[in-house]
Amino acid sequence: MKAVLSILSGVLLPLALPNDYFLYGNPWIGTICLVPVFFALYQTRSLKEGMGLTALFGGISTFLSNYWLMYFKDYAFLTIGSVTLAYCGVYAVWGGFFWRFSRPHPYRPLYMAAIWTLFEFFKSIGYLAYPWGLIVYPFNELLPILQIADLGGIWPLSFLFAFGNSFVAELMIGNSNQDLIRAPRYGICLIATILLYVGYGYYRMGTPIPETSRIRVVLVQQNMDPWEMGKEIENLRTLLELSRKGIQQLNGMVDLVVWSESSLPRPIQENRQYYQRVPPEESFLSFLKQWKSYFLIGNPVVRRTQDRKEVQNGVVLLDSTGMILDTYGKRHPVPMAEHVPFYEIPLVQAFFTKVIGLGGIWALGDKDTIFRIKDAGGKEIRFGAPICFEDAFPYLCRRFILAGADLLINITNDAWSRRMSAQVQHFVVARFRSIEMKRTLIRATNGGVTCVIGPFGEVIASLPMFQKEVLSIEVPIQKESTSTFYTKWGDWFPLLLFGLLLVTLLREKKTFGEIQSL
């Protein structure tokens, strides 16, 4: 029965997250999706059983919510297979902590919410981080309650929604007068927290953020996968046609044209002659000269040292002459797919090339570039350009803002996933960066979601997914006189929880299992 409950949660969580049935997620399911697995843990009698239940839950939920990873080139085993297996192990290890804090205790619902928040936090940092499938994402459209993220990131929200689930599980298992006495207290605490978050959210959204300037941008969504062989010139023609259309929609008065990740597979800096003649009817460099605009383009960045050449998954900023003004190389590539540790070791390289079929890897980016352009009035506009799923990492986006970026411009290639739900999952993750730092986020993708997100997480404009289209828009740049509390202090909330739980463990003279016999 307990295994069935874990499986049920393993299905409910993916149903709550953005999926093919509920494209932007289902918050109602989100309020109960963890209840079955928490209820099962409350009834376990051994550490081994608790670890097994969480591993079962984690494996099923990971596979069902990320099934689109199987379309990542020809590496289905490496992507969806390895991710699922890896997170079975991750959930099993954390299952020990979940079991430890699921023992009968007056504060068990709060402990379970805290340990779930810490699990999601540690799951979302480091080289192997994968901040998908978090409990906050089903609630991504409830903007007033989400504004608390500018104080503590998404972690106070993780705590709230996990607390709601653990509270319901506690109600289901309550079988004593003590449980009946404590239940109203937890209910009041939960309702008070929700009201506090919502109240702060409405106050925050009712406080205007000053507009410092505007930028006229053209976001090109070519709806073509740059990885498809033999379509390089066709893809470039489409990019040029859509760019021309977008520039004309703004009467030629455009500050910046943005192309998605890997739009041009050949490094511009090493292939200028090629781009001077391709496409033959009107070359890429000839096209640039027609417009007084900057172009931000997904393009490999080459770094040369004395002994070798490194190529980064990058973005380049060009002026109308085709001169490269600045570059940024992706600093957090997809682990074990875009980048492999110790790849220079022959044995490691042979395994990934001959067994897995990996054609090569990207080198790690080496700097946090702040791009600078001037608008029509001569005012300087600064921005960071996180690539692909880098907009899922708060610490990385914080660095751009702390370094002086006025806004963020993300370029992404998600077209390979072939599913709208995959595009929306990425969009949902990204919109929290706007809320946390109260800055505009522009997303230029080749399949979706191409959009402009305001500082409260609101969608200012967007394009339909998987269509060849262009978004021409004048984007307001809004900026407060001081950075948000979260921008300044980062992930203080989970660190506080970690400290409180550690103090609790040290002060306990008896284990939770000894407090009340099972």
Instruction: Name the residues annotated as catalytic.
Output: 261, 330, 388
CB contact at 8 A, 215 and 381:
yes
* CA–centroid distance for 325 within its chain: 28
Rounded CA separation 435/430 (Å): 9
- Closest CA relative to residue 461, chosen from 470, 469, 451: 451
Amino acid at 25: G
CA distance 417 to 232: 19
Token pair for residue 126? Answer: 């480091």
CA–CA distance, 405 with 444 (Å, rounded to integer): 18
Helix and strand totals (H; E) in the chain: 20, 14
Of residues 192, 37, 178, the one with CA closest to residue 106:
178
Q: Which residues in 253-270 are b (16+ Cβ under 10 Å) and which e?
A: ebbbbbbbbbbbeebbee
Count CB neighbours of 181 within 10 A. Answer: 11
Q: Give the amino acid at 219.
A: L
Joined tokens for residue 437: 């730092």
Copy the structure tokens of residue 313.
Answer: 């998954």
Element (H, E) at 172: helix 155-173
Span between the terminal Cα atoms of the chain, in Å: 18
